[in-house]
Amino acid sequence: MNLRGPLVEVGEPREVETRYGERSLAEVTLRPERGTADPVTVTLWGKWTHAAEHAEPGMDLLVTDVDESEYKGETTYATGKESFVVVEPDFLVDVTDIRSWVQCSRMYYLNKLSGIPLNYPVVKGTIVHDVFGDLLRGRDLDSSIDERIEERGLELGLLGREVEEVADEVRRNAAAIEGWLSQGVLTDEDEWRSEYTLISPTFGIKGRADALRRGSPVELKTGKNLKRDPRFQDKIQAAAYALILDERGVPVDTGTLLYTKNTTLDRTEESGDLSPAKDFSIGRGLLEFVVRTRNEIAAMEHDVSVPTGYESNSKCQYCFEKDTCMVVSGRLGQESKAGAIGNPVSEDEREYFDRFYRAIEEERRAVHDEYRKLWDQTAEERADDDRAIIGLEPLGREERPDGTWELRAKKTDDAVSKLREGDVALASDGHPVEGHAELARIVELGEEVVVTTDEPVPLRRLDVYPSELTVDRLLTALHDAILKGSPDRKDVLFDRRAPDFSDRSAETTYIDNNEAQDEAVSLAIDADDLALIHGPPGTGKTYTIARTIRALVEDGNRVLLSAFTNRAVDNALEALRDQGFESIVRVGTESGVREDMLDVRLSRSGDPNTLASALHDAPVVAATTATCGSRVMREQSFDVALVDEASQLTEPGTLAAANLADRFVLVGDHKQLPPVVRAENDLQTSLFQRLIESHPDASVMLDRQYRMSQRIQAFASAEFYDGALRPATGEVAAQHLRDLGIGVADLPDETADPVSFVDPDGRRVGNTNPVEADRVAEIVAAYEAAGVDADDIGVIAPFRAQVAEISRRTDVTVDTVDRFQGSSKEVIIVSFVATGDLDGPLFEDHRRINVALTRAKKALCLVGDADALESDPFYDRMLQWARR
Tell me, rounded to whole angstroms, the distance of Cα 750 from its chain centroid.
Answer: 45
Nearer Cβ to DNA, position 8 or 801? 801
- Report if residue 630 touches DNA, rule: CB under 7 A: yes
* 27-35: long-range pairs with CB below 8 Å, 24+: 27/52, 28/52, 28/55, 28/61, 30/3, 30/4, 30/5, 30/6, 30/61, 31/5, 31/6, 32/3, 32/4, 32/5, 33/4, 33/5, 34/4
- Vertex 178: Cα angle to 177 and 183 (nearest 5): 100
Distance CA 391, CA 393 (A): 6
Judged by beta carbon, residue 125 or residue 727, the one nearer DNA is: 125
Q: Per-residue contact track with DNA, 261 to 290, x per CB under 7 A? A: x-----------------------------
Residues 393-422 that bind DNA (CB under 7 A): 418
Least distance to DNA, CB of residue 303, Å: 23
Report the site for DNA in 139-198 (rule: CB under 7 A).
197
**Residue window 785-824: x/- pattern of binding to DNA, with contact defined by CB under 7 A:** -------------xxxx--------------x-xx-----
**Whole-number Cα distances in Å, 607 to 140, 142, 162, 167, 868:** 21, 17, 9, 13, 63
Of 530-559, binders to DNA (CB under 7 A) are none
Based on the shown chain and the rule CB under 7 A, indicate whether residue 766 belongs to the binding site for DNA.
Answer: yes
Identity of the residue, 207 or 762, whose beta carbon is nearer to DNA in the bound complex: 207
Size of the site for DNA (CB under 7 A): 74
Residues within window 425-464 making contact with DNA, judged by CB under 7 A: 439-441
Q: Does 200 bind DNA (CB under 7 A)?
A: no
For residue 387, the number of C-alpha atoms closer than 13 Å in the C-beta half-sphere is 18
Three-class secondary structure of residue 193 per DSSP: strand
Burial (CB count <10 Å: 0-12, 13-18, 19+), residue 784: middle
- State how far the alpha carbon of 618 is from the alpha carbons of 557, 560, 711, 741, in Å: 11, 10, 45, 47
Q: Of 679-738, which residues contact DNA (CB under 7 A)?
A: none
- The whole-angstrom separation of Cα 219 and Cα 198 is 14
Counting contacts by CB under 7 A, is residue 208 touching DNA? Answer: yes
Q: Residue 883 carries which DSSP code?
A: H
Q: Give the pairing of strands 85-87 and 60-63.
A: antiparallel
Taking the C-alpha atoms of residue 643 and residue 666, their distance in angstroms, rounded to an integer, is: 5
Least Cβ distance, residue 561 to DNA (angstroms): 13
The nearer residue to DNA, 483 or 626, going by C-beta atoms, is 626
Specify the residue, 197 or 824, whose C-beta has the smaller distance to DNA: 197
Residue from 26, 383, 626, 882 in contact with DNA (CB under 7 A)? 626
Q: Which of 2, 24, 76, 126 binds DNA (CB under 7 A)?
A: 126
Least distance to DNA from the beta carbon of 395, Å?
21
Q: Per CB under 7 A, does 571 bind DNA?
A: no
Task: Give least dist CB 255 to DNA, A.
Answer: 13
Site residues for DNA, 331-390, by CB under 7 A, read none
Identified binder of DNA from the candidate list 8, 167, 306, 424, rule CB under 7 A = 424
Nearest residue to 243 via CA among 129, 97, 95, 374: 95
Of 111 and 824, which CB lies nearer to DNA in the complex structure? Answer: 111
Establish if 228 lies at the interface with DNA (CB under 7 A).
Answer: no
Q: Contacts with DNA in 80-109 (CB under 7 A)?
A: 94-97, 103, 107
Closest distance between DNA and the C-beta of residue 442, in Å?
A: 9
**How many residues comprise the chain?**
884
> Which residues partner with 661 through β-bridges?
638
Residue 320, interface with DNA (CB under 7 A)? Answer: yes
Region near DNA per CB under 7 A, out of 123-131, 486-494, 518-526, 575-583: 123-131
Task: Single out the segment in contact with DNA by CB under 7 A; choices: 74-82, 466-474, 492-500, 538-546.
Answer: 466-474
Shortest CB 806 distance to DNA, Å: 13
In whole angstroms, how close is the CB of 355 to DNA at the nearest point?
20
Q: Which of 564, 581, 638, 783 binds DNA (CB under 7 A)?
A: 564
Cβ nearer to DNA, comparing 569 with 692: 569
Does 306 help bind DNA (rule: CB under 7 A)? no
Residue 841 CB, nearest approach to DNA (Å): 4
- In 92-220, where does DSSP find H-type helix? 95-103, 105-114, 120-136, 141-151, 153-158, 163-185
Rounded distance, CA 202 to CA 89, Å? Answer: 6
Among 157, 201, 204, 207, binds DNA (CB under 7 A): 207
Contacts of 596 (CB under 8 A, 6+ apart): 570, 574
The window from 15-23, 391-399, 514-522, 565-573 that contacts DNA (CB under 7 A) reads: 565-573
Burial of 842-856, coded b for 16+ CB within 10 Å and e otherwise, reads bbeeebbbbbbbbbb
Question: Interface with DNA includes 840 (CB under 7 A)?
Answer: yes
Which CB sits closer to DNA, 115 or 608? 115
Determine contact, residues 25/48, Cβ cutoff 8 Å.
Answer: no
121 binds DNA (CB under 7 A): yes
Among 588, 668, 760, 762, binds DNA (CB under 7 A): 588
Residue 597 CB, shortest distance to DNA, in Å, is 12
Q: Return d(Cα 884, Cα 874) in angstroms, integer.
A: 16
- Contact criterion met (CB below 8 Å) for 597 and 586: yes
CB nearer DNA, residue 18 or residue 589: 589
Name beta bridge partners: 664.
Answer: 530, 641
Taking each continuous run of H as one helix and of E as one strand, the counts in the chain are 31, 35
Q: What is the Cα–Cα distance from 718 to 715, expressed in whole angstroms?
A: 5
